[in-house]
Amino acid sequence: MILDFNMLDFWTQAIRVALALFIITDPLGNLPFYISLTEGSMKSERNKIALTAIITGLLLLAFFVFAGSLFFDLFSLSIDDVTIAGGILLFLISVEILMRGKIIVEHKEDIGVVPLGSPLLVGPGAITTALVMSRLFPLPAFVTGVIICFVFVWLTLFFADRLYQYVGHNGSLIITKIAAILMAAIAVRFIRVGIQTIFKN
């Protein structure tokens, strides 16, 4: 009974971590960005971009959870600085999409790193959530929860291909413009929240 209780407690904690991170990474809400950023790519290319985004997100979370405090102290940074920097980067990307209709990159997988992997999937909110969760729950439950979350994120992005087939080329162009405007709005929010928090502190 003790073993069963401990296992139940472990999975409850892991699921809580997974749900919190899944909500904050918001892969469903990021589907329009994913479709617009991968417009014109083959399914195999989109799958590589999705995998790159997942790996980027996992590595970022691992870095900030295990070495974030040391990194922040070393360069006298705060999470608000990261929020503002992410907002500026996201805003520049959204402007490029609005002006050119797409992001010009040397390698398609680069889109999986920026902006999809970060700051869209794993931005300041996800980093902060992970930092808090890593202190609230035992490490095994936290790591399991993160893995569960990103498995579902990958599945969401993997099946986005079906949505792309429904909207077609013209629909994708419309989504691209709308996504770029929304991306710019999110970027402004990142910058605004970061600046407001700094002044409050």
For the ranges 94-98, 116-120, 142-146, 149-153, the lowest mean pLDDT is seen at 94-98
User: What is the rounded average pLDDT of the residues 25-38?
Assistant: 83
The domains of the chain are located at: 2-200
User: What is the rounded average pLDDT of the residues 145-160?
Assistant: 92
Nearest to 41 by CA among 105, 86, 99: 105
- pTM, rounded to two decimals: 0.76
pLDDT digits (tens, 9 = 90+) for 133-152: 888 889 999 999 999 999 99
